[in-house]
Amino acid sequence: MKAGESYQKYLNKLVDLPEGIPQAVSRFLQRFELLDTSRNVNVNLTLAMQSQYLVGGAPVPVVLDIDCHGQAELSPDSPEVWDRVSQLREVKNESFFGLLTDSAVELYE
């Protein structure tokens, strides 16, 4: 993503800017606290971008932080611990790839 380019080309819509106001975003910070009730997993999703210090066509740094956590009563030596860790990883991956558009994924192919 380059300065002045719509971030929605690379990230699925989070918040639309209303028409009639400036549309060129120089920085933003969004945080969502989500709950996957079917798997009892909390997802903290933080997305940030700051392009004001960049010049020309330099890529714009975007920060995407996904924290998944949940409560469970497990014995430390139980194999269920690793099942729970795998479940958290699955939710994290779904959140990450669900946020990216095809254009964003193509940047890394």
Instruction: Quote the DSSP letter at residue 40.
Output: T
Q: What is the mean pLDDT of the chain?
A: 85
3-state secondary structure of 8: helix
Look up tokens 């066509």; give the residue: 57
30-45 pLDDT tens trace: 999 999 999 999 999 9
46 within 8 A of 65, measured Cβ to Cβ = yes
- d(CA 98, CA 100) in angstroms, rounded, equals 6
What is the pTM for the complete model shown?
A: 0.79
pLDDT value at residue 13: 67
The distance between the two most distant Cα atoms of the chain, rounded to a whole number of Å, is 58
pLDDT value at residue 84: 95
Cβ neighbors of 21 (< 8 A, separation 6 or more) are: none
pLDDT value at residue 95: 95
